[in-house]
């Protein structure tokens, strides 16, 4: 039976090449897109985890109380002197100022009232 099938595939090349090419291309695209998306999402999660979490964070008490809301008005200013002080007190740690900015997008309805809101960065 297998001999018969192989003879048929080898005799009529147009019937055997096109399905093989289509299946090969489909599998190749599926594997590449899957690997790209998994790698992309993994990198996004890893980068965000590194950005959002750290070993030590220096912030004011007021900012710490409302940290989930990312209040820019309570952020530290003049961080150059603070970073220099921390580098002299704790030279084994690497200190770098971070900016975490967020905002809201407001979509109004026909009356100008808020129809929906969403986070924006």
Residue tagged 């080898």 (tokens): 10
Q: Nearest Cα to 71, choosing from 114, 100, 28?
A: 100
- Structure-block tokens of residue 76: 């530290």
pLDDT confidence band for 102 (50 / 70 / 90): low
With 80 as the cut, is the pLDDT of residue 19 above it? yes
Give the tens place of pLDDT for each residue, 28-84. 999 999 999 988 888 888 777 776 676 678 888 998 888 877 777 888 888 889 999
Nearest 10 degrees: CA dihedral of 64, 65, 66, 72? Answer: -40
**Which residues lie below 8 Å from residue 8, measured CB to CB, with a gap of 6+?**
15
pLDDT value for 121: 62
Q: Would you kindly state where each structural domain of the chain is located, as residue ranges?
A: 1-53, 57-121
Per-residue pLDDT tens digits for 84-97:
999 999 999 888 88
pLDDT at 24: 94
């Amino acid at each position: 039976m297998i001999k018969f099938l192989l003879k048929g595939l080898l005799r009529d090349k147009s019937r055997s090449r096109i399905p093989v090419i289509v299946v090969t291309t489909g599998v190749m695209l599926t594997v590449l897109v899957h690997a790209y998306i998994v790698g992309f999402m993994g990198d996004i999660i890893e980068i965000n985890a590194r950005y959002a979490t750290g070993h030590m964070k220096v912030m004011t008490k007021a900012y710490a109380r409302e940290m989930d809301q990312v209040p820019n008005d309570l952020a530290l200013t003049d961080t150059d002197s603070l970073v220099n002080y921390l580098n002299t007190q704790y030279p084994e740690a690497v200190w770098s100022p971070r900016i975490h900015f967020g905002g809201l997008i407001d979509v109004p309805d026909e009356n100008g009232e808020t129809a929906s809101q969403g986070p924006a960065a």
